[in-house]
Amino acid sequence: MTRLELVAVGASWGGLRAIETVLGYLPEDFGAAVVIAQHRQSGGQEGMLEHLLDARCALTVSEAEDKQRLAPGAVLVAPADYHLLVERGAVSLSVDAPLHFSRPSIDVLLGSAADAYGAGTTGVLLTGANADGAVGLAKIAARGGTAIVQNPETAERREMPEAALWATPEARVLELEQIGPALVELAASSAGSLP
Amino acid sequence: MALRVSGDAHEARERLEIELLLEAIQRAYGYDFRGYAVASLRRRLWHRVYGEGLETISGLQERILHEPACMDRLLRDLSINVTEMFRDPSFHRALRAHVFPLLRTYPFIRVWNAGCSTGEEIYSVAIALHEEGLLERTRIYATDIDEAALERARSGAFPLERMQFYTENYQRAGGKESFSRYYSTDGNVARFDPALAAGTVFAQHNLVTDGSFNEFQLIVCRNVLIYFGAELQEKVLGLFGASMTRLGVLALGRKESLRHSRHADEYEPIVEAEKIFRRRA
Ligand SMILES: C[S@@+](CC[C@H](N)C(=O)[O-])C[C@H]1O[C@@H](n2cnc3c(N)ncnc32)[C@H](O)[C@@H]1O
């Protein structure tokens, strides 16, 4: 089994609470890096999202800077008005045009994660009211990574998880509270298979 | 439907194709994209692959080598000109409050706006300089790799529909006048007062391959370095260092940082949060 190196999370409407729940389950010594794209208003409170999340979970959460290095247990959040892209070992930002009216775009983040980490990637798609992320998650699955989708039936908004399942029917459908534990398990089971 | 190869093999092959393509472009056309950040470049390349009705990056390489027009189309895809006036108002406010007082001490001021794109940033800085009484003794060198963008910058005409937004930005950036006095309306464009750009030199300059051409008290280069890989960033930061007067000021984009760079020690922050640095003596 390929080692879990990167967890890429996308969320939109209702995402803050959902992300908080997922991250809340991850221990300080979590073995993979985490990157997040949450749709947000530009010109909103700078750094608010990160401060909230950082205060409420064991991992260190910060707003990504260009070329910041990825590290196990460190969470990088896409800044408002920038796309966040994963390179090998670090992240890049871009101000390319919005996709699905969104910058950051979840498709851009997840797609670049699949390119950089292939089967070592787990993509997680949470609540949202549009179709962003479906293409990116499908790419992660196609590269041999793990695709996890929040159960649309119980998500705050069902459209985004639903679109993701449409594109990636083989994705694991989990309740919000099950996603964190599943990630811990994935990280643990793959840690044992270290070369 | 493409064959599903294992993720790693797929990655390795695609990386090879990209490297070969960039090498070909460099040798055939002289544009050097080899040190650019890969993730964003890859998206752009695939965009062109599909746009050409092709299936692989190797296929794109063949067409580019045989059809210069295809290279032009790719260049257009690769130039991300997205910009706005007074982008990040708090940055422009900080520039006025903390950098202009330093500039004021010089009899003659030289500013380099590197990667100026279509010019919105130049006019933003020029307006602030004007309001602080510094524009007359300032020369702005506005450069970009993209000649088409520079052409628009020279025209000083921006979409009228953006003016309401820019007016808000201008006010939040500490503007002192009524913003509309700086432009006249012409159909659906806002034409900015040519006096604002009278002291501006527009020139094509490639940060990757062209050298230093003057010494500046202030270099503004925002949201350009993000498109470069770490090594290329180092090189360009070296170019900036060589293009600065003693105690020169370097202003980067909101999410760009010197922290991850070998050049970090050469600068001290003036306004850390706004990524405004001063070169150490
Ligand atoms: C996103 S725009 C930034 C515009 C403006 N500085 C801002 O922050 O709003 C990036 C610009 O960098 C330019 N650029 C990219 N590579 C370059 C290079 N090698 N040399 C000079 N300019 C380059 C592009 O043509 C584009 O106009």
Question: What are the domain boundaries of chain B?
Answer: 7-78, 89-279
Asked whether B113 lines ligand 1 (CB < 6 A), one says: no
Task: Establish if B226 touches chain A: CB-CB under 8 angstroms.
Answer: yes
Catalytic residue among A94, A132, A189, A190: A132
CA B86 – ligand 1 centroid, Å: 16
Domain hosting A124: range is 6-189
- CB of B232 within 6 A of ligand 1: the answer is no
A144 conformational bin, left if phi > 0, alpha if psi -120 to 50, beta if neither: left
User: Is A94 touching B (CB cutoff 8 A)?
Assistant: yes
By the CB < 8 Å criterion, does B11 face chain A?
A: yes
Query: Does some domain include residue A195?
Result: no
In this structure, is residue A36 part of a structural domain? yes
Q: What per-residue confidence (pLDDT) applies to A2?
A: 77
pLDDT class for A50, splitting at 50, 70, 90?
confident
8 Å CB contact between B254 and B274: yes
Residue B117, ligand 1, Cβ within 6 A: yes
Residues in chain B: 281
Domain tally, chain A:
1
Sequence-ordered list of residues with C-beta below 8 angstroms from that of A73, at least 6 positions apart, any chain: A26, A28, A29, A30, A31, A32, A33, A59, A60
Q: What is the CATH number of the domain that holds A54?
A: 3.40.50.180
What's the pLDDT band for B2 if we cut at 50, 70, 90?
A: very low
Give this complex's ipTM: 0.91
pTM of the model: 0.93
Chain centroid to Cα A119, Å, comes to 15
Report whether pLDDT(A186) > 60: yes
A16 torsion bin: left (phi>0), alpha (psi -120 to 50), beta (else): alpha
Nearest residue (by CA) to ligand 1, atom 27, is B117
Q: Would you place residue A149 in the very low, low, confident or very high pLDDT band (cuts 50, 70, 90)?
A: very high
Q: Please report residues of B whose CB lies closer than 8 A to that of A142.
A: 4
**Architecture of domain B89-279 in CATH?**
3-Layer(aba) Sandwich (3.40)
- Give the residue among A135, A87, A105 at the shortest CA–CA distance from A11: A105
B10 or B214, higher pLDDT: B214
Contact predicate A69/B15, CB 8 Å: no
For residue A11, tell me if it sits in a domain: yes
Residue A90, in any domain of the structure: yes
Q: Does B257 touch chain A (CB under 8 A)?
A: yes
* pLDDT at B106 > cutoff 80: yes
Q: Report the mean per-residue pLDDT for chain A.
A: 92
B117 CA from centroid of ligand 1 (Å): 5
Which two tokens mark B63? 């067409």
DSSP A177: H
Asked if pLDDT for residue B233 goes beyond 80, the answer is yes
Q: Which residues contact A17 (CB under 8 A, 6 or more apart)?
A: A156
